[in-house]
Structure 1
Amino acid sequence: MNKLPLNDAQFNLQQVLLLMNYLTEWLIRSGVGYTEFTAALKPIFYEQALQELQRIEQKPTISAISLLSGLHRKDVTAYKQTVEEGKALTEAAISEPISVPSRVIGLWLAEGWKESLAFYSETENSFEHLVKRVSTERHPRSVLNELIRLGVVTEDEENVVLQKGPFIPDPSLLEARKILTNNLTAHLAAGLHNLFQNNGATYLEQAICADELTEKSINILHDESLKLWQEYSLRLLKLASERCALDEGKPEATQTFRFGVYQHDGE
């Protein structure tokens, strides 16, 4: 029997929101706001609603998809038409908000203006003029502060200077984000499988937790954790390498194995 209390939507929502605190921190630090994020979620909710309807063997009508996903019927219709045309969901004719700071930088680059603009000027192109071309609802100073926070521009006396560095992603940082995403995805997939599974095999998904500890004890546990990880990860890596060599070239060798360990401490 399904162990997740599906009939308690509020309970499940609260659990997800606990995770969202950390994901939202990641988004905001990266310059992704609420409107952009919720717009990006639409096709994900659409696809998950389709999967659920398939699981319960119910016809994927527009009404059924809309009811399950919470999406407006016109959005569901647009997604269905896009899929029927063989296109990606991201190509659906749905109005998606773009953040004002992003649009300001996009317009700046598209116009080919110089990299340094006066914040305000009555006679030449200025940052204030640029912002007002994009939106009259956002104060230019607020937009500037956000772009400075993201490291996209700097302010030099009365001028706003566009930084080229942020447009060239750091490969090491991109790889670190990909690794984190892959690890978190696998962890969530294992945990949700265990919650949803019906009398089948479960994945290893356990943690040890100890509280009321001093900083000295935390340091001891931290060091021991690293020692154990180094010892056992090498053993498992050796076995994984052997199995990869044995399975290489087999047509049924299509699966991926991931084993992860994490450590965290705090008050």
Structure 2
Amino acid sequence: MTERKDDGLPDAARLQQPIARLLRPLVRLFIRCGTTFPALCDLLRELYVNVAVHDFPLPKKEQTDSRISLLTGIHRKEVRRLRNAGAPVRQTPAAVSRTTQIVALWMADPRFATEAGAPAPLRRSGLEGNGPTFEDLVGEVTRDVRPRAVLDDWLDRKIVTFDEQERVVLTEAAIAPNRGDERQLYYFGRNLHDHIAAAVANISSSSSPFMERAVHYEGLTEDAARRLEALSRELAMAALVAANREAQALHRKDEGGEWRWNFGIYVYREKEPGGAHDATDEEEPRS
């Protein structure tokens, strides 16, 4: 039996169904990518020990192998072997961080935007014309990497392209990374982590500290689902651009600290087996 307090949290039996639904797309990905069940078990075993050691300490008491075994259900010999692995390192790859900062600045700073507020096509430093250049943009974020190297890398990854005037133009891939892009896997882990962490915090707290809501309808035709998806994309992009612009302005004035913030939006549609015909409008926080 594992250690558990009567703190209003759902018991393990009630968690079975939502966890199964949550894990199903991940298991689909694991099978496609060759992550076998034994390999996943090894990862989960190490993660269980790691979380118990670092996230469930007792005040002024030693975190013993016996207590970790009690919390996790993992044998003490395995606990002893695994507990020295250390906490997972939450580190953003340098290329991902640099790309994200440059794109965010390009999308938010009026110096690099059109009159309508969209990212403006930028001259390369050697081209004639007025206004800031791609070199100016990169120089605002980093002096450690040459702008030409960033440009070559981004062209290869299709983050930017050239227009008919040979100006550098931001593409959709800058916001939604292409398959195989290092940023895609990084944000896969980061964004899903933050979404799940917000939902877990809402379940674990007497109040709902984070906004975590959705609007969903069932029993739609494919045409209606596609039209709603297109509308959602427009609304989502407008919200993300506005939030990014405000965050850039605050970031310039902020003294810096230990906190981070994430604002994410997802849109999803699929054909459901069974063809449900009831429509609902969900506007309640999942708490």
Q: TM-score range by the shorter chain?
A: 0.5 to 0.7
Indicate which of 175, 179, 195 corresponds to 2:183: 175
Name the structure 2 match of 1:11. Answer: 14
How many Å separate the matches in 2 of 1:218 and 1:70?
Answer: 44
Cα displacement (A) at 1:53: 3.9
Letter in 1 for 2:218: D
The unaligned stretches of length 5 or more in structure 2 are 1-5, 89-177, 273-287
How many Å separate the matches in 2 of 1:210 and 1:180?
Answer: 25
Per-residue CA deviations over 1:45-75 (Å, capped at 9, x if unaligned) read 1122234642688752222211211111111
Name the structure 1 match of 2:49. Answer: 46
Name the structure 1 match of 2:235. Answer: 228
- Decide whether aligned partners of structure 1 residues 22 and 189 sit closer, same or farther in structure 2, where only a CA change above 3 A counts: same
Name the structure 1 match of 2:203. Answer: 195
How many Å separate the matches in 1 of 2:87 and 2:212?
Answer: 33
Cα displacement (A) at 1:25: 1.2
Q: Is the 8 A contact 1:194 1:202 kept in 2?
A: yes
Q: Is the 8 A contact 1:79 1:89 kept in 2?
A: no
- Decide whether aligned partners of structure 1 residues 254 and 49 sit closer, same or farther in structure 2, where only a CA change above 3 A counts: closer
**What is the number of residues matched between the two proteins?**
177
The unaligned stretches of length 5 or more in structure 1 are 91-169
How many Å separate the matches in 1 of 2:66 and 2:210?
Answer: 35
How many Å separate the matches in 2 of 1:55 and 1:260?
Answer: 34
Q: Is the 8 A contact 2:198 2:210 kept in 1?
A: yes
Q: Calculate the TM-score normalised by the size of structure 2.
A: 0.55
Identity of aligned residues (%): 24
Aligned residue for 1:54, secondary structure, equals: coil
Matches within 5 A, 1:1-267: 2-5=7-10, 8-51=11-54, 53-54=56-57, 59-80=62-83, 83=84, 88=86, 172-199=180-207, 202-247=209-254, 250=255, 252-266=256-270, 267=272
How many Å separate the matches in 2 of 1:9 and 1:184?
Answer: 22
Letter in 2 for 1:21: R
Q: Tell me which protein shows more helix as a share of its residues.
A: 1
- Decide whether aligned partners of structure 1 residues 28 and 20 sit closer, same or farther in structure 2, where only a CA change above 3 A counts: same
